[in-house]
Structure 1
């Protein structure tokens, strides 16, 4: 057999086995899931549930890597620098993607740099007050916010999502609530239970135990519709507060340039895991919002573009400054 003949046979074998679909051999090595916040938060909890199931299905180690700091931007930039092969993914709440690039100077990225993969879950914010508060209704609190001695509200940090939304509420309601930043969600919760901060914005997963214990009370749902687990709380829509109906998400992203077929495979796998009875029960226990009918990466991308536009308008007229 001539050398040319052997070469042609080898080329034929390669052509028969090679496919431009990158996802065929994916994943080919351990997968790293970067969470840009400390362990223990709702995003971290769900990420670890999904990581376990991915590892079982893929037969590959799936490692959760908490890279906290600078409002989530450290972890985001870690993923942006990673190889675009789907083996490093970002699991994050919306603030690090849709808000941080609008707040921080020279952050080095914008939301559209990331490749949306899937929504993990949605969880609306609730305006919480201590049960000892003199404000027993949303209307009473909003009225006080228009007085010369407007109450103070707490956030989990300067420039945090709970701060941005607090100022968005001031804008929508014509109030002048004073902001007090705390160093994280736990100090904020503590301040609320002792009535130091007079209200704060929290997701159900973070506030549920304290509500059940009778220490916090939800007054408003930042949502277009009544939300679980406290459907008794009126919505911003009902109260006539416009621009506060953004549904807060936690999602999965890949580095720029990740092949579309890998993104689609990841999307199908993650969406399927989130729908499994055991995983769904964990999400239900966290009182997350219902899933969207369209779970595609493209639908997620379009939603992010819309909310970036909305947040840009809010931040252009609110007094939020971060270093």
Structure 2
């Protein structure tokens, strides 16, 4: 997997350079934040509707998030949002369409999880890289969970014991090999020398849930929003946090179970084509910040299973850099 390592190193170098130059007034190419401070005033004004490309199916957690934000964002931006779902390929199809089919004028933006923009390009299988995008604003950053049907009564420790004693027998669904869900569990398995089988479903977490409930796989890996949106399933292991999450305090972390160093979160946010003017980036970032820091919206979103966590474009790049550094050795090990 030399191409993974070479590309990942290039990404890390690019991200590091972007972080070092974040005080520059002009937009840097690629994945760096072109917007500067979210608290600053922007001279850019949107005078036409903005298309939001979501590379997952309607009704997915990612789609639900943008629709929950839609009316508040429209008010903050002063224009309407038109949501377009372009599903498939674990988000890579919609991301490719966004970069290929829309003008870089600020009136089309991508809203996605990290999988298609951070992780999938590491394999060299996409027509784009992270550097083709500008990070605009993070909306959430939540841990991934190992999910099982309610009919599964074994504890977290009992499931891990089963995996240890039955190599290659335990199966888990995720939205695509090399994606965040896959790597959240695979990094632990590789690190501990354990063997479980990843079963990818490119149709998203809805397909993972259906496969799990239908008995095709033993478990699935997805986030809290997907968990809370579906019935008859529960989380057994928090794969991402150092400490338990307030809303799921009864779910042990890997650290609680005696395994350290596997923390990783699933980032969601807005991305522009790297050629979009910096003024548009700043304007959109400011709008997102105003929505996600509004106590009324935070309460509404949290009740719906979407816990807002605003981050600037620069903070997104830092999170992506850390994720890439963790992902590369796992991908190398998996071959």
* TMscore range, shorter length: 0.7 to 0.9
Aligned CA distance change for structure 1 residues 181 and 254 (closer, same or farther; 3 Å): closer
**Which whole-Å CA distance do the structure 1 matches of 2:275 and 2:207 have between them?**
39
Q: For the Cα contact (< 8 Å) 1:228–1:288, is it kept in 2?
A: no
Length-normalised TM-score, structure 1? 0.80
1:166 matched to 2:185? The reply is yes
Q: What do residues 198-236 of structure 1 show as CA deviations (whole Å, max 9, x unaligned)?
A: 2221212212255xx5x3332111212211421111112
Superposition map of 1:234-249 within 5 A: 234-249=252-267
1:127 matched to 2:146? The reply is yes
Deviation (angstroms), 1:188: 2.4
1:33 matched to 2:49? The reply is no
Match of 1:191 in 2: 211
Q: For the Cα contact (< 8 Å) 1:204–1:229, is it kept in 2?
A: no
Match of 2:245 in 1: 227
SS of the residue corresponding to residue 248 of structure 1 reads strand
Deviation (angstroms), 1:124: 1.5
SS of the residue corresponding to residue 192 of structure 1 reads helix
Deviation (angstroms), 1:104: 4.9
Aligned CA distance change for structure 1 residues 56 and 317 (closer, same or farther; 3 Å): same
Superposition map of 1:136-285 within 5 A: 137-149=155-167, 150-182=169-201, 183-210=203-230, 215-222=232-239, 223-285=241-303
Aligned CA distance change for structure 1 residues 85 and 98 (closer, same or farther; 3 Å): same
Whichever of the two has the greater Rg, that structure is 1
Say which is worse superposed, 192-201 or 90-99, in terms of deviation: 192-201
Match of 2:4 in 1: none
**Which whole-Å CA distance do the structure 1 matches of 2:308 and 2:66 have between them?**
18
Q: For the Cα contact (< 8 Å) 2:74–2:80, is it kept in 1?
A: yes
**Which whole-Å CA distance do the structure 2 matches of 1:200 and 1:245 have between them?**
18
Q: Larger RCO: Structure 1 or Structure 2 (Cα < 8 Å, ≥ 6 residues apart)?
A: 2
Deviation (angstroms), 1:115: 0.6
Q: Which runs of 5+ in 2 are unaligned?
A: 1-40
Q: Which runs of 5+ in 1 are unaligned?
A: 1-21
**Match of residue 71, structure 2, among 52, 69, 94:** 52
Aligned CA distance change for structure 1 residues 132 and 50 (closer, same or farther; 3 Å): closer
CA RMSD of superposed structures (Å): 2.6
SS of the residue corresponding to residue 262 of structure 2 reads coil
Deviation (angstroms), 1:74: 2.3
**Which whole-Å CA distance do the structure 2 matches of 1:60 and 1:269 have between them?**
11
Count of residues in correspondence between the two structures: 292
Length-normalised TM-score, structure 2? 0.78
Aligned CA distance change for structure 1 residues 49 and 191 (closer, same or farther; 3 Å): closer
Q: For the Cα contact (< 8 Å) 2:54–2:85, is it kept in 1?
A: yes
**Which whole-Å CA distance do the structure 1 matches of 2:104 and 2:220 have between them?**
39
